[in-house]
């Protein structure tokens, strides 16, 4: 009986910590998806030119390549995750700058 109770408590604790970790730190993939949606939205609304969209998509492709390289050995290290997040943060700033640069859009 004690073994079952301990097992259930450990299982519950493990599920709770996993769920709370996901809430605190969004997945790297979700950031990528949101950025791609912002690029498509910028094109649809006319905030981005074709060239700007191409540049931003190219940058997203480089981040995707970084992710594939990081997963090549089966896991992502803290350093790899930090580099990917820094690249995503920089891409996020580039999207904002290009969407609000007041250029004529076609």
- Show pLDDT as tens, one digit a residue, over the chain (106 residues): 777 777 677 777 777 665 544 444 568 889 999 999 999 999 999 999 999 999 999 999 999 999 999 999 999 999 999 999 999 999 999 999 999 987 665 5
Q: Residues, the chain, total?
A: 106
The pTM of the full predicted model, rounded to 2 decimals, is 0.69
| CB count in 10 Å sphere of residue 56 | 22
Q: What Å distances lie between residue 11 and 8, 38, 105, CA to CA?
A: 5, 38, 55
Residue in 89, 100, 27 with CA at minimum distance from that of residue 63: 89
């Amino acid at each position: 009986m004690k073994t079952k109770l301990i097992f259930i408590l450990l299982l519950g604790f493990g599920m709770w910590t996993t769920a709370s970790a996901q809430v605190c730190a969004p997945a790297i993939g979700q950031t990528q998806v949101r950025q791609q949606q912002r690029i498509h939205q910028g094109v649809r609304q006319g905030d981005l030119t074709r060239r700007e969209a191409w540049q931003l998509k190219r940058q997203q492709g480089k981040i995707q390549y970084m992710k594939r390289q990081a997963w090549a050995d089966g896991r992502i290290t803290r350093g790899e995750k930090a580099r990917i997040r820094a690249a995503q943060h920089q891409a996020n700033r580039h999207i904002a700058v290009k969407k609000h640069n007041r250029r004529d859009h076609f």
